[in-house]
Structure 1
Amino acid sequence: MSVEKKVWLISGLLTFGLAGLLLKLWIELNHFEGDPTQLPDQAAVDSYLGKLDVAPDYYVRTGIFLKSFSFLGASDVQVTGYIWQHYETGVHDKITPAEGEVGFLLPEAVDTANGLFAEAYRLPQSDGVLIGWYFEQTLRQSFDYTSYPFDHKTVWVRFWPSSFEDAVALVPDFESYPATGPDDIFGIDNQIVMGTWERENTYFDYKLSNLDTTLGIGQNAYQTNAPELHYNFVIKRNFSNAFIVHMVPLIVVMMLLFGAVMTVTRREGLIERHDFSTSSVIGTCSVLFFVILLAHVQLREGFAGSPVIYMESFFFLMYFMLLVVSVNTYLFASEAVPSLRFIHYRDNLFPKASFWPFVLLCMVAITAYNLSLKVSHEPPPISTEDS
């Protein structure tokens, strides 16, 4: 077997091996780990609330059912649905909302003027009253887009009790759902239009308010560290849509760039057949640069204000490869640097054969780095001693 065939064989094996490794890393990057803070049943709620420094005076069962949601921007999400609460006679008389009032607050609502809270029903129960409200609100939240297009979004509805004078804890109304286990999806319409997203998980959890003020209500220690009920629904992006829009053009441009590299030659017959010249290769790189630049600008406009995202790293890799191919072509055609045997050996063999292994190696390194960031940002598991 000739030297050239051996080099290309090694190049092919490395290419397929790195492509398989990249696919494996993509699968891991697209995997969602459940949040260990989720509360699957009433026992978990009682355990959490039992550890508070100040015990609540009232416990109000609260449930939610989402009918629709849509992203209005990088930080705003519009949600609609129903929220209901159970008030017991003789227990919640002081805090039961009158008609036209709402028994909760959504502190992250930003468009209250155009939002809606309308009482949908008020039904007497054997032990009290059940009140339900229909709501339409725009919530402002911070989302992490650094793993795009493998990003998962946890959209939450954050609840505060409407009464700050009393120590009120809102607790999930688990009895209103068929199942609320760690892997169950509940509280969201099965026919909800997700667009480019897919449902991944739903769950309740608590986060302490950690306020640095008593809200002017004297020495109210409960309000400064009150448990805030969160209903979370986790969605993951439809990878195929983002892959077609952004990744396919990158792959096509990379193939065109590889084709330009393969035209680099000193063999007389091939020079005429490929119409090779230094200016033609550099001109091709210039055209591809503007194609990539326009696609990069379009991608960046969708994530204005966000740090460098995963997909964006491939555009930087493309800029680098365009520069490398241009420099390689110039040095190969230049007689001023004949000592660069790596470039001149067997008609630019090594740069041609190492093109795809180098590109895939960079993609693997970028993916592995983003995967490590994802793992480091995951919350630690809850100790069994605390449960």
Structure 2
Amino acid sequence: MSIEKKVWWISGVVTLILAVLLFNLWVALNHFEEDPTQLPDQAAVDDYLAKLGNVPEYQVKTGIFIKSFSFTGASDVYVTGYVWQHYEDGAHDAIKPVDGEVGFILPEAVDAANGVIEEAYRIDQGGSELIGWYFEQTLRQSFDYTSYPFDHKTVWVRFWPREFEVAVALIPDFKSYPATGPDDIFGIDNRIVMGTWERENTYFDYRLSDLGTTLGIRDAEFQTNLPELHYNFVIKRNFGNAFIVHMIPLIVVTMLLFGAVMTVTRRPDLVERHDFSTSSVIGTCSVLFFVILLAHVQLREGFAGSPVIYMESFFFLMYFLLLAVSVNTYLFASEAVPSLRFVHYKDNLIPKAAFWPFVLLCMVAITAYNLSLKADPEDETVIEVQN
């Protein structure tokens, strides 16, 4: 076997190994880790509240059903649905809302005055009263896009009790759902049009408030460390759409660039056949640069003001490849720097054979780094960008 064949055989094997490794890393990056703070049942709620050391005076069962949602801006999500609460006769008389009042607050509502929260039904259930409200609200929160297009969004509805002067804990109404386990999806209409998203998970959890103030209320120890009820629904981006829009152009440009590299030669028959010249290769790189630049600008317009996201790293890789191919072609054709044997060896064999292993190795390194950020939440950056 000739040296050229051995080099190309090694290049093919390494390329295949790196491609398999990259695919496995993509699978791992696309995996959603369950939140350990999930509340699957009433026992978990009781255990959480008991650990607070300050038992709330009232506990109000609260449920939610999401009818629709849509992303409307930088960090805004428009949500509609129903919220209901159970008020026991005698136990909750002091805090039960009368007609026209709402038993909860949505603190992240952007424009509550123009939103809708109206009573939809009030039912006497014999020993307790069930009150339900229909709501339409735009909620503001931060989302993490650093793993795009393998990112997940956890959209939550955050609840405060209506009363500030007494200790009230809102607890999930688990009995209103068929199942609320870690792998169950509940509280959201399964006919919602998701667009480029896929439904991944839903769950309740608590997060302690940190207002840094008592709001002027005396003896408000519970209120300044209030367990806020959150209903969370996790959605996963449909990778296929992002792959078609962003990855396919990158792959095509990379293949064209590899084709330009393969035309670099000093053999007279190949020079004539491929019409090789330094200016033609550099001209090709110039055209491909503007193609990549336009695609990059389109991507950045969707994530303006954010740090570098995962997909964007591949564009920087392409800029480097375009420059490297142009420099390699000039050095080879001009026979400059004869000491650079890896450029001149066997008719530019090493740069040609190393092209795909180098590209895939860089992609593997970029993906592994982003996967490490996902595994270590302390290193993640929460950003607010356009959807």
TM-score by length of 1: 0.96
Residue identity (%): 81
The equivalent of 2:4 in structure 1 is 4
Deviation at 1:262, TM superposition (A): 0.5
The equivalent of 2:140 in structure 1 is 140
The equivalent of 1:119 in structure 2 is 119
The equivalent of 2:49 in structure 1 is 49
* Distance in structure 2 (CA, Å) of the matches to 1:339 and 1:154: 56
Q: Which amino acid aligns with 1:30?
A: N
Please give the secondary structure, in 2, of the residue aligned with 1:354.
Answer: helix
* Distance in structure 2 (CA, Å) of the matches to 1:165 and 1:218: 8
Cα shift readout 1:71-115 (whole Å, capped 9, x = no counterpart): 112311111100000011111111111111110001001022321
The equivalent of 2:211 in structure 1 is 211
| 2:172 aligned with 1:172 | yes
Q: Which amino acid aligns with 1:54?
A: N
Q: Which amino acid aligns with 1:94?
A: A
* Distance in structure 2 (CA, Å) of the matches to 1:340 and 1:222: 72
Deviation at 1:55, TM superposition (A): 1.5
* Distance in structure 1 (CA, Å) of the matches to 2:305 and 2:160: 29
| Comparing 35-44 and 48-57, the one that deviates more | 48-57
Deviation at 1:116, TM superposition (A): 0.5
The equivalent of 2:289 in structure 1 is 289
Q: Does the Cα contact within 8 Å between 1:74 and 1:143 map onto a contact in 2?
A: no
Please give the secondary structure, in 1, of the residue aligned with 2:189.
Answer: coil
Deviation at 1:51, TM superposition (A): 1.2
The equivalent of 2:99 in structure 1 is 99
* Distance in structure 2 (CA, Å) of the matches to 1:225 and 1:233: 24
* Distance in structure 2 (CA, Å) of the matches to 1:72 and 1:235: 16
The equivalent of 1:192 in structure 2 is 192
| Comparing 66-75 and 362-371, the one that deviates more | 66-75
* Distance in structure 2 (CA, Å) of the matches to 1:336 and 1:213: 70
Cα shift readout 1:120-159 (whole Å, capped 9, x = no counterpart): 1011111121000010111111000000000011100000
Cα shift readout 1:44-68 (whole Å, capped 9, x = no counterpart): 0000001113221100000000011
The equivalent of 2:322 in structure 1 is 322
* Distance in structure 1 (CA, Å) of the matches to 2:269 and 2:280: 17
Runs of 4+ in 1 over 2 A off after TM superposition: none
Note the 1:183-262 alignment, pairs <5 A. 183-262=183-262
The equivalent of 1:39 in structure 2 is 39
* Distance in structure 2 (CA, Å) of the matches to 1:97 and 1:354: 71
Please give the secondary structure, in 1, of the residue aligned with 2:51.
Answer: coil
Q: Aligned-residue CA RMSD in angstroms?
A: 1.1
* Distance in structure 2 (CA, Å) of the matches to 1:99 and 1:303: 44
| Comparing 77-86 and 46-55, the one that deviates more | 46-55
The equivalent of 1:355 in structure 2 is 355
Deviation at 1:290, TM superposition (A): 0.7
Q: Does the Cα contact within 8 Å between 1:65 and 1:81 map onto a contact in 2?
A: yes
* Distance in structure 2 (CA, Å) of the matches to 1:226 and 1:61: 16
Q: Which amino acid aligns with 1:325?
A: V
